Amino acid sequence: MALINSYAASGKMEKAKQVVLDPIIPNKSLNEIKSVLVSALASHGQLSEALLVYEEIKKAGHNLRPKAVITLIEELTKFNGELDGLLLLLEEISDLDYWVDGCFKVIMYCIRNKNLSSAIVLFKQLKDKFKNDEIVTEALFDAVFSLIAVSEFTHLQIGLDLLWAIKDELGLMASRQCLDFLLSACANAGDLNNARLIWREYEVAGFPYNVLSYLRMYQALLAAGDDTSAHLILKKIPQDDAEICSVIIACQETYNGLNSVEEKKKQGKKRKKKKSKT
């Protein structure tokens, strides 16, 4: 196994493939060594070759080792149209820790490809696996929403759809962190309507507004150009902390500049329309 990894690290993939052909390898060790080869091939740009070895393992009536399955999942998530294959690979994993890791990767693949229905099915499976441990379930859900918050704003809508589905289909309440992440995503997208929807969800879930939620809403309002509402929110933010003040100033510098540019563009368009009429 170490020999395969050594060959792969030095780019000698053909030699790595030859290792499994050594006749002195006992049959009981062959499956584990082939699993290492699958990982090495997949992680070194030879995914098609890795899948061929995987098929050999399946035909022989064996299962791929969990670590190798995760490697295949990681590589397949880089390509579109691979959901069916990813779901089949996930079924291969019996070890819970590896399964959760793989499930999380496939959920994020669904999010990136805007496949909400499959993401919900996987969330349901997560809920069933940890039905007696709400803390773990909440942490996993939070991790997904944190990635949505920092992703391109085009993923915001599926994040919102996911929130409603978690409430309606899974019967779960969103955590404070989920709402925080979605509010940040609304700010990044300058989406005022959805920011207000998320803001109301804090009350529905029974979460009192705190400094961080006020800051996020302030940022969202500035990003959307609603300076009047932003000013009202600003009054609720305690400003006796230097770090908080620096965040407020950074928001003002960022979004006031952007809004002034947008306003100039609008004024320019109006002048052009007036000239064309005359």
pLDDT tens profile 62-77: 889 999 999 999 999 9
**CA 167 vs CA 120, 182, 261: distances in Å:** 11, 15, 39
| Alpha carbon distance 65, 38 (integer Å) | 10
Dihedral class, residue 180 (left if φ above 0, else alpha if ψ from -120 to 50, else beta): alpha
Give the pair of three-digit tokens for residue 53.
Answer: 């070895």
Residues 45-52 have a mean pLDDT of 89
Whether 269 has a pLDDT exceeding 70, the answer reads no
> Average pLDDT of the chain?
83
**Would you give the distance in Å from CA 73 to the centre of its chain?**
15
| Alpha carbon distance 57, 30 (integer Å) | 10
H helix intervals, 60-115? 66-76, 83-91, 96-112
Tokens 């062959």 label which residue?
A: 30
| Alpha carbon distance 95, 88 (integer Å) | 15
Residues of the chain above pLDDT 90, percent: 33
| Alpha carbon distance 98, 127 (integer Å) | 16
Give the pair of three-digit tokens for residue 59.
Answer: 């035909």
| Alpha carbon distance 71, 217 (integer Å) | 39
Pick 248 or 172 by higher pLDDT: 248
Determine the pLDDT at residue 275: 54
Whether 19 has a pLDDT exceeding 80, the answer reads no
Instruction: Please state the pTM of the whole predicted model.
Output: 0.74
